[in-house]
Structures are given as C-alpha cells and as structure tokens.
Structure 1
Amino acid sequence: MEVEYDGTSFFGWQRQPGGIVTVQGELERVLFRVLQEDVSIVGAGRTDRGVHARGQVASFATGSGMPLDRLRHAMNCLLPEEVYVRSLREVPMEFHARFSALWRQYRYTLAEEPFPLLRRFAGVHRGPHELAALNAVADVMVGEHDFAAFSRSGSDTKTTMCAVTHAVWRRSGEVLMFDIRADRFLRSMVRYLVSASITMQPGEVFDALQTGRLGCQLKPADPAGLVLWEVGYEV
C-alpha cells in the first residue's frame, strides 16, 4: 500500500510499546479491525517523529480475500484523518517494502520567515539563502559516500555507505525546497544534510564524508519540513 500522512502528531513511523501512537501502529490497528487477524506491516522507510510522507510504501500479508477497493475504503474510514491509504495492490510474496526498494526520495521545505500557515510542513531558518551556495554544498553529497557524520546513532544498519543520485535545492514561491534521492538513508540523515547545506561550506562537508567526523556542531533540521516523497521499485 502507498500511504500519505501528516506526521506532526505521531511518534514516528515505527511501532512503539506502551500505547505510543505511531503511523505503523495505527495502520496495524485498523487492519486488525477490518480483517479480524493480526497483521504486521513493513515500511519502506522509518520516518522520525514529526516527519511526514506523501509516498510511504508498506507491505503485509493476509489470508483475507477481501477486494482491495473495499479494504482501502474501510481502512480510510477508520484511520485518523492524518493518515490516508492512497492505493493498494497485490504483489508477489517475495516483495518487501524495505528491501525491494531501489531508491527513496525525500523533500525538505525550508521557510526563510516563520510563516504561521507553513509551520506544520516547513522548517524555518531565517534567510535569505543563496541557491548557488546551497547547491554547491548539495553537489558534494552526490555519489557513494560514508554518511556516518550525518546521522544519529542507534541505527540498525550494518553500513553507513549510501549512494546519492540526486541532491538539488530550488526556490518555489516563498520557500526553498531540497530534493534528495538515494538507495538508502541513515537515521535523520536528510535533516542533517539540510542543516549542513545551510551552515557548512562544501569543503567541510567533503571532509566529513571522507573522515566520518564533523568538524563542527550540527543539529538536524526541524522534522516538520521533511516528507518521504517517493519510493522506487522495479516496474
């Protein structure tokens, strides 16, 4: 299934114990109500607390023969208004939303003024910011690098190498947008790279990718601006 959600009120994607509300937890709760069976879902990306998604992909197996259009309708009737199942389709049993993905694309929206109507879906860093300077830093990110310096600890990944194929800043009306695509992302990696684009020089980012260490203090950008935009698979 392809899922869209406003992550503002959720403690991230991943299921948590103790009644903490997460997107995965809500989807599994609703699937149990509709299908009357325990269903465990797997997401293509584990978005952090407050991060949104337009094209999150999740896979699950069920013994139910309920038509997909009926299942989707029932889920959307029961899910909180911040979560919406955009589509459902059958896939081969070997499909895995996370491990079958070829790439993921994130979009970050950055406001240069604290506009109230954008506060749920944009990070704020007062500007103005020059596109040329932002893209000079983004250019350094493209390629296969060790992004250990731009991630939070506690990840369950075995390697911190990621292959970035696209990283571009552009202006759209009153905001700046950063699109980045890679085969995989580390925990909070995009938010760190947004902060790096704003506060670091290209040479500093290059050195951090070479050494795995930062030469300065860096905080991840506000999660409100980040959206898991799209996930790519073999057609």
Structure 2
Amino acid sequence: MARSKRTIKMQLEYDGTGYSGWQRQLGAVMTVQGEIEQVLGRITQEPVSIDGAGRTDRGVHARGQVASFATGSPMPLGRLMYSANSLLPSTIRINSMRQVPESFHARFSARSREYRYFLLEHPSAIDSRFAGCCYGRPDVAAMNRLAEMLVGTHDFVAFSKETPDQQGTLCTVTEARWYRYGRFHVFHIEANRFLRSMVRFLVAGMIEAGMGRLGQEDFNAMLESGCRRPHLKPAVATGLFLWNVRY
C-alpha cells in the first residue's frame, strides 16, 4: 500500500557564489535546488522535487529562502533535517523543517518577498564576496528619492530580463529604501513578486543616479516607458540576498 505523503516547509540559507542560481538545470551544472533535491532523495530513497519561494540568479545569496516538497518518508523531521545538513555542502544550510497543509506551496502561497542589496564604496578583500561596489561615495539622498518612486504598482519591464514563463510585468512594491549599516549602504525592497534580475537593475539605476551619471527624470522615464537605457547593466550578483518571505 502506498504511503501517504506529507508536505514539508523548509527555511534555508545559502552562499550562492559557487552556484548557477537556485533553479535546477540540465547538464552538469551546480544549482541550490539540485543539490538539495539530490540529498533529500538519497535520504528518503524516493524522487524529491522541491519548490522555492524565489528563483535567485547565479551568484545571488539567501538568508531567508523558503522551499516546500512532498515526501512519503515517515522519518522524523528533526532527523531528516540533521541528515540533510550533514550531507549538503557547507554553503547550504536548512534552518527549519515543519509539516504544513497539503495546499501549501512555497512560491504560490507567498504574500511578499524581501530582498536586500549590500553596497560598498570601495573594494574589500573580505566583504566583496557578499557586496557590490560603487567605487566612490554615492549621493544616498538622491538614491532614496528614486527608491520612493518605486512604491506602488508599476510595470518593471525596463528593469528586468524577460523570461518565457513570466506572468506579466506588474509588481506591487510596499517598501523601498536605502540605509547605512556599518561600512555598507543597504537597499531594502519588499514586493508581492519580482521579475528576473529586477532588483539588480533597479540597484544599478540608483547607483548611476547616486554617482551623478543618471538623472531622476531619466530613471522615471525608464519606469514609465518600459524602455531601458542600453548602457544600464544589472548590479553584480554578489551583493544581493533574498532576505525574507512572508505568508
């Protein structure tokens, strides 16, 4: 007789430096999702497919990623989590596991996601692994004026990489601001959804404004018209963290 399956919610963190993003890919490519699925499948002796709340890009980190999966294994969750963390690379860590209703889905049940981008004024031999760099002192007040413009529902197509499965380009931003944390300038943004590379493009535009290379009118024109300036490239992935997911 087939075993009934449980739906499990996991909270995890990872250093995305050595991975080709969250989402599993064909071929011999290391992804965070692929590593976790392989380990859970080895422990439970069954195929495991997990769903993440956010599909982070290559090199992007997570402090508060959430994932869910179904399993027929009766193994106690404390033991399952301990076993998984023993086998996972040191750059991936599952912080909690709990059983949730079958209807729960890490991606589709989420109400909002929060990202943070850490920015240095000068390169660092240590901190550059987890931060971008603007090579000078930015005008943070100017950057915050642009951040204020992001709050509300907007079409962010000019600040994204289009993907075939993208379900529209409207996103509702509930909070966006820059603040200082030690030697870092930190951009905090929360929204109901994010497009591919959206935060990194927004950060790049605000850095350009903060360094005096882009005017507020030009930034607003991109937001209103949906046309991105050709020279604008996404900020480096090293500084970006999926920080929290709310349900």
Cα displacement (A) at 1:158? 1.9
* Matching residue within 190, 198, 203 for 2:217: 203
The residue type equivalent to 2:15 in the other structure is: D
**What does 1:11-26 align with in structure 2 at a 5 Å threshold?**
11-26=20-35
1:226 equivalent in alignment to 2:240: yes
1:178 equivalent in alignment to 2:187: yes
Which residue of the partner structure matches residue 5 of structure 2?
none
Which residue of the partner structure matches residue 197 of structure 2?
188
Which residue of the partner structure matches residue 130 of structure 1?
139
The residue type equivalent to 1:196 in the other structure is: G
TM-score, L = length of structure 2: 0.92
* Matching residue within 46, 58, 73 for 1:37: 46
How many residues align? The count is: 233
Measured in 2, the distance between the counterparts of 1:161 and 1:9 equals: 31
- Report if the CA contact (8 A) 1:140-1:205 is conserved: no
1:70 equivalent in alignment to 2:89: no
Measured in 2, the distance between the counterparts of 1:214 and 1:74 equals: 47
Q: Which moved more, 1:129-138 or 1:68-77?
A: 129-138
The residue type equivalent to 1:225 in the other structure is: G
Measured in 2, the distance between the counterparts of 1:160 and 1:223 equals: 21
The residue type equivalent to 2:118 in the other structure is: T
Q: Secondary structure at the match of 1:166?
A: strand
Cα displacement (A) at 1:155? 4.8
Q: Which runs of 5+ in 2 are unaligned?
A: 1-9, 209-213
Q: Secondary structure at the match of 1:76?
A: helix
Measured in 1, the distance between the counterparts of 2:164 and 2:176 equals: 23
Q: Secondary structure at the match of 1:88?
A: strand
Cα displacement (A) at 1:92? 0.6
Q: Secondary structure at the match of 1:158?
A: coil
Cα displacement (A) at 1:129? 1.0
TM-score, L = length of structure 1: 0.97
Identity of aligned residues (%): 55
Q: Secondary structure at the match of 1:178?
A: strand
* Matching residue within 163, 167, 179 for 1:158: 167
Q: Secondary structure at the match of 2:176?
A: strand
Q: Which moved more, 1:211-220 or 1:176-185?
A: 211-220
The residue type equivalent to 2:142 in the other structure is: A
CA shift digits 1:64-89 (9 cap, x unpaired): 11111111100000000000001101
Measured in 2, the distance between the counterparts of 1:99 and 1:203 equals: 35
The residue type equivalent to 2:243 in the other structure is: W
Measured in 2, the distance between the counterparts of 1:203 and 1:85 equals: 44
Measured in 1, the distance between the counterparts of 2:111 and 2:38 equals: 29
The residue type equivalent to 2:241 in the other structure is: V
Runs of 4+ in 1 over 6 A off after TM superposition: none
1:214 equivalent in alignment to 2:228: yes
1:107 equivalent in alignment to 2:107: no
Cα displacement (A) at 1:124? 0.9
Measured in 2, the distance between the counterparts of 1:123 and 1:155 equals: 28
Which residue of the partner structure matches residue 90 of structure 1?
99
- Report if the CA contact (8 A) 1:155-1:186 is conserved: no
CA shift digits 1:154-197 (9 cap, x unpaired): 25212000000100101111110000000000000000000011
Q: Secondary structure at the match of 2:33?
A: helix
CA shift digits 1:46-105 (9 cap, x unpaired): 000000000000000001111111111000000000000011011111111101000000
The residue type equivalent to 1:226 in the other structure is: L
The residue type equivalent to 2:246 in the other structure is: G
Q: Secondary structure at the match of 1:60?
A: strand
